[in-house]
Amino acid sequence: TFAIIAAAIISGAVVERIRFSAYAIFIVAWVLSVYVPLCHWIWGGGWIAEMGAKDFAGGTVVHISSGTSAFALASLLGERKHRGESFPSNLPFVILGGGILWLGWTGFNGGSAFAANGDCALAIATTYVAAAAAMITWVSVERILDGAPTSVGAMSGAVAGLVNITPCAGFVEPLGALGVGAIGAICCVFAARGLKKLNLVDDSLDCFSLHGVGGFAGAILGGFFDLEDGLIYGGDGLLLAKNLAGAAFGVVYSAAVTAVIFFLMRLVMRMRVSEEQVAYGKNENSGKPNAFGEHSQRFKPEEAPTLLTSAPASGAEKPTEV
């Protein structure tokens, strides 16, 4: 189900800060109180569907909800201890993962037609066109502003395009998908750059910029490029207004309920990992296996003063996350 995808998106914004047990409980509460109601209101014949807003494969249900909630949760948790000191550690895996995600989106959007028919084929075609257009747009912006494109930027652009087209994949033609992907990518890339420049929130994987902003942009662009009621095809603007209202409600509702869940949970449990756990590393106290084996950087007690106000005694037991 799409619910687990939304949960994964939220996790990307709060890495290195939230306790695993707190995250597990939060996600259960979030799915029941945010995802499920939105799913019913939009896809289950609820008031947003009756209003006439269109969401083909989850622009609001999945991406706006998770992206907005990721922003709210990251803001409430606070930033990482050593924010700004990290950098992509495995670029080939970034590209591999982005490619797998792109392939998987074939089922994400195409499967939302619920049949192997023309709507399914159209959704798949527009998905690939939008992703390609967005990827080219993102790296072009990097080339103009930074002097060179990056592989992370290419994959970020592709994901932005996939998110942009999600709410309207079955409602636009491939030429329209080109516009959705390109315009949506511009919204996402400047949102990501702007949040970093303004230092508003420590969103580790740009979840809000790619999914929250991307889903919102896709909903709005659907009001322009929709084959039946889009403004470009002679529509009266009602679909645009309805999509805007549905997307805006998704933003407000997701942020508000996320904040309520956070504050209620904080009354009974600690949400954030301790500074000592951060110093030892989340891998050391949350899970023993290490991806890089003996060649990985491991915590050394004598280096603790640079991470903690007071170093643990030599040989002290590593903190364990509960």
- Give the pLDDT score at 301: 47
Domain range for residue 10? 2-81+89-266
At 269 the three-state DSSP class reads: coil
In a domain, 274, yes or no: no
Handedness of CA 133, 135, 141, 144 (dihedral sign): negative
Q: Is the per-residue pLDDT at 5 higher than 60? A: yes
**pTM exceeds 0.85 for this model:** yes
Domain count, the chain: 1
Provide the token pair at 287.
């899970």
Q: Which of 108-112, 269-273, 305-309 has the highest mean pLDDT?
A: 108-112
Whether 180 is in a domain gets the answer yes
Distance (Å, whole) CA 69 – CA 172: 28
Tokens 């040989």 correspond to 315
Alpha-carbon torsion, ordered 181, 43, 70, 187, to 10 deg: 20
Q: Which of 62-71, 233-242, 291-300 has the lowest mean pLDDT?
A: 291-300
Task: Return the CATH number at 66.
Answer: 1.10.3430.10
The answer to whether residue 106 sits within a structural domain is yes
- The full length of the chain comes to 322
309-317 contacts, C-beta under 8 A, 24 or more apart: 309/275, 312/276
Structure-block tokens of residue 309: 């106000």
User: What would the pLDDT profile of 187-211 be if each residue is shown by its tens digit?
Assistant: 999 999 999 999 889 998 999 999 9
- In the block, residue with structure tokens 């079955």: 170
**For residue 167, is pLDDT > 70?**
yes
SS3 272: strand
Answer whether residue 26 is part of any domain.
yes
Contact 49, 31 (CB under 8 A): no
Q: Would you say residue 39 lies in a domain?
A: yes
pLDDT band at 81 (very low <50, low <70, confident <90, very high): confident
Tell me the β-bridge partners of 18: 272
Specify if 286 maps to a domain: no
Q: What is the mean pLDDT of the chain?
A: 90
- Decide: residue 48, CB within 10 A, 0-12 exposed, 13-18 middle, 19+ buried: buried
193 within domain boundaries: yes
Is 187 a domain residue?
A: yes
Token look-up 């709005």 returns: 220
